[in-house]
Amino acid sequence: TTAMNCLPWIKEMLRSGTIASLVMMPPGFVFQALGLRVGHYGPKFAQLWVDQPTPPLLFAQHLVLGWVSALPLLWWLVRTPAGSHPVWAGAAYGAAYYVVVNSLALPLYFGDPMPWQLGLPTVLPSLVVHIIYGASIGWTARYFGFVAALSRKP
């Protein structure tokens, strides 16, 4: 059934998306401690829904975005040759995600300057954590057998 076909995808989305969302946080905290900009759009995005987002709400939003953002990468890993190099493909996905979402779509939506207009200290932290996010998904999807198991199916 269709529901049964979705279960492996949902399980891997939750597993890999959660792990990657957590793995990207320590480097982000290091960048923040160094006074660099990272996590800039989390609170702004949450303020679309609530006036004063709390840390637990921001964390929950971080996880949900991590789950949803994992799906295109998981599909790419399973349905294309990218699955033969999932960590590298994941890192490339993370970089592309940063470029499309965090350096273009979100600044345009919120009327902010583009990160590259603000310089490398603005670009580098978020780019690095998004590369870590994608590479982590590639690694966990391979480690737990998701890529191999679903790549064999039509």
pLDDT by residue (tens digit) across 54-81? 999 999 999 999 999 999 999 999 999 9
**101-131: buried (b, 16+ CB within 10 Å) or exposed (e) per residue?**
bbbeebbeeeeeeebeeeeeebbebbbbbbb
Determine the average pLDDT of the residues in 16-37.
Answer: 97
Torsions phi, psi for 53 (to 5 deg): -65, 130
Q: Which residues contact 6 (CB under 8 A, 6 or more apart)?
A: none
| DSSP annotation of 154 | -
- Label residue 144 by pLDDT band (50, 70, 90): confident
pTM above 0.75, yes or no: yes
Whether 26 has a pLDDT exceeding 60, the answer reads yes
Q: What is the pLDDT of residue 149?
A: 82
Torsions phi, psi for 34 (to 5 deg): -85, 0
- 20 SS3 class: helix
- Label residue 146 by pLDDT band (50, 70, 90): confident
Residue type, 76: W
